[in-house]
Structure 1
Amino acid sequence: MTRTLQCTVLDCPRPRELAAFYQALLGGEVDRADPRWSLDDDWSTLHLPDGGVLAFQRAPGLRPARWPDPARPQQLHLDIAVDDVKAAERDALAHGAKFLRYEEDWGVYEDPAGHPFCLVPE
Structure 2
Amino acid sequence: MSDDFGFWDVMVSIFWFTILLAWISLLVHILIDIFRDDTLGGGMKAVWTIFIILIPWLGALVYLISRGDSMNKRNREAAMARMEMYGAQRPAAPQVSEELQRLAELRDTGVLTPAEYDQAKAKVLA
The two structures have a TM-score, normalised by structure 2, of 0.22
- Normalized per residue, the structure richer in helix is 2
**Larger of the two Rg values belongs to structure:** 2
- Normalized per residue, the structure richer in strand is 1
